[in-house]
Amino acid sequence: MAERIEANADDLTGVWNGLYSYPDGRSVAFVATLIQHGRALSGATNERCQRAPGGTLFATLAGSREGGAVAFRKTYDGTVPGYGMVDYAGSLNAEATEIEGRWTIAGMWSGKFLMIRPHRKAESAAREASVRA
């Protein structure tokens, strides 16, 4: 059983908090839910709409993970005109708690992004403590 837990220790499935930045310094926070199945990644994001205050943008994710390299395409749902597809490519840290890299809108924009999730050991310890209580 211990081998199975170790094999899945760096699975990317879960909720991630992210931030992407534009070249002019503006940044946008988002929440991503990733699902990893083998090397394939899927999921969804939501973020505040910069063009319509109070609005929310939703998108789906599809991509892959190859070792420490993570790449996915974010495709907005089309409810707000002007938002299409964005490609993300980044690197996973050794603890599988951060993905850092660049996003690109072909021929238009690019910038940096960072996605973070809690340490799995901290999550496990918190779960274990609540079970004991």
pLDDT, tens only, 99-118: 999 999 998 899 999 999 97
Residue range 23-61, pLDDT digits in tens: 999 999 999 999 999 999 999 999 999 877 778 999 999
pLDDT given for residue 41 in this prediction: 98
Inter-residue contact 30 to 19 (CB < 8 Å): yes
d(CA 109, CA 88): 12
* Cα separation values, 12 from 20, 36, 121, 126, Å: 19, 6, 14, 19
Distance separating alpha carbons of residues 45 and 3, to the nearest angstrom: 32
Q: How much is the pLDDT for 121?
A: 53
Count Cβ neighbours within 10 Å for each residue of 26-42 and write b for 16 or more, e otherwise.
Answer: eebebebebebeeeebe
Q: CB count, 10 Å around CB of 45?
A: 22
**Predicted confidence band at 66 (pLDDT cuts at 50, 70, 90)?**
very high
Model pLDDT, residue 101: 98
Residue 9: the pLDDT is 57
* pLDDT higher than threshold 70 for residue 77: yes
Give 120's pLDDT tier (boundaries 50, 70, 90). Answer: low
Residue 63 in tokens: 């991509």
CATH architecture of 2-132: Beta Barrel (2.40)
